[in-house]
Amino acid sequence: MSLAAVATKRFQVETPDIVRHDWTREELRALFALPFPELIFHAQTLHRAHFDPCEVQVSTLLSIKTGGCSEDCGYCSQSAHHDTGVKAEKLLSIDTVLAEAKAAKAGGASRFCMGAAWRSPKDRDLDQVCAMVEGVKALGLETCLTLGMLTDTQAKRLKGAGLDYYNHNLDTSPEYYGEVITTRTYRDRLDTLDAVREAGVHVCCGGIVGMGETREDRVGMIEALANLPVHPESVPINMLVRVEGTPLAGASGLDMIEFVRTVAVARISMPKSMVRLSAGREDMSEETQALCFLAGANSIFYGPLLLTAANPERDRDMRLFNKLGLKPMSA
């Protein structure tokens, strides 16, 4: 173990309440390179200092506006730039969304996340989206939206409607970003995160691995997330779902131990955040998911569909929770 790793480990384990925003790449590299038992012990220690390790927060996703997106994100089934077979649809009606939210609550979700395939919402769309947020909140669910880039005014309107969380991911390292998306910049994303934070809405922000990036890019992604002025309250770590017709359909994928290491480093560097084991669980073994929970993941998407891609059936997840003695966290 390098000296930097030893120092970081001692510092964090002995002072779990200190939340840092000055992570260096060297420290994060050293964490990634720790022997696996040391890394998991370190992540578990911090996880237990802040959370019940047997509780997992459960969110359900709904695509409220699917396909036809003007952005060119290389991973996405919904970009109009790629031929994936996903058709452009209109914004769902408020009644349809509320019926789905009721079903999600009955199924055991505590948060309802609504996603739209937009570069950014138009102000007239926001009227309808605000009504959705109000209706979902009235059902006793936490609300989350992901609609693309927001202005300060739009973020404040959503806060006024009762929005709890806004998801907007940095996706990857600043260096690799341009290989994946060309239609908006890293700076654009940081500006939206600032607008959301400024409006008083909790931030959900993470990224995707398995896109052909290097470990250094994973280090860079965690560095960008963990050095935000305030840590995102939720940090989704997505494993790329390789979608036929996207530029990343042939990406080489990622070793699952490296995926678990990424989860652990997110947990250690953002000790009070919820770390979500996000897209890609459909193809993960129970053992990999169990390792992710040991590494500090404490949130999942629950229900058979993400936005357009498959997620495990509810009963499969409940069987896994029962086997592992995990229970859903209440809102």
Residues 47-76, one symbol each (x = binds ligand SF4 by CB under 6 A, - = not), give ----------------------x-x-x--x
Closest contact distance (angstroms) between CB of 59 and ligand DTB is 9
Interface stretch with ligand SAM, choices 35-43, 48-56, 168-176, 262-270 (CB under 6 A): 168-176
Partner interacting with residue 271 (select from ligand SAM, ligand DTB, ligand SF4, none; CB below 5-8 Å by kind) = none
Site for ligand SAM in 7-46 (CB under 6 A): none
Any idea which residues carry the catalytic annotation? 69, 73, 76, 113, 144, 204, 276
Q: Kindly report the CA angle at 54 between 170 and 140, in degrees rounded to 5?
A: 70
Q: How far apart are CA 213 and CA 6, in angstroms?
A: 27
Tokens of 26: 């060297």
Partner interacting with residue 308 (select from ligand DTB, ligand SAM, ligand SF4, none; CB below 5-8 Å by kind) = ligand DTB
Q: How far apart are CA 112 and CA 134, in angstroms?
A: 12
Residues 149-178, one symbol each (x = binds ligand DTB by CB under 6 A, - = not), give ------------------x-x---------
Contact yes or no for 30/10 (Cβ under 8 A): no
Which of 57, 59, 169, 234 lies at the binding interface for ligand SAM (CB under 6 A)?
169
Based on the number of CB atoms within 10 Å of its own CB, is 276 exposed (0-12), middle (13-18) or buried (19 or more)?
buried
Which of 67, 121, 148, 296 lies at the binding interface for ligand SAM (CB under 6 A)?
148
67 binds ligand SAM (CB under 6 A): no
Contact yes or no for 125/91 (Cβ under 8 A): yes
Partner interacting with residue 269 (select from ligand SAM, ligand SF4, ligand DTB, none; CB below 5-8 Å by kind) = none
Contact yes or no for 261/239 (Cβ under 8 A): no
Site for ligand SAM in 69-128 (CB under 6 A): 75-76, 115, 117-118
Radius of gyration, CA atoms only, the chain = 19
Residues 249-288, one symbol each (x = binds ligand DTB by CB under 6 A, - = not), give -----------------------------xx---------
Contact yes or no for 155/198 (Cβ under 8 A): yes
Partner interacting with residue 168 (select from ligand DTB, ligand SF4, ligand SAM, none; CB below 5-8 Å by kind) = ligand SAM
79 binds ligand SF4 (CB under 6 A): yes
DSSP alpha helix (H) spans, the chain: 3-14, 25-32, 36-50, 94-106, 123-138, 152-160, 174-180, 186-198, 215-226, 256-269, 286-294, 314-324
Per DSSP, 231 falls in state -
Partner interacting with residue 234 (select from ligand SAM, ligand DTB, ligand SF4, none; CB below 5-8 Å by kind) = none
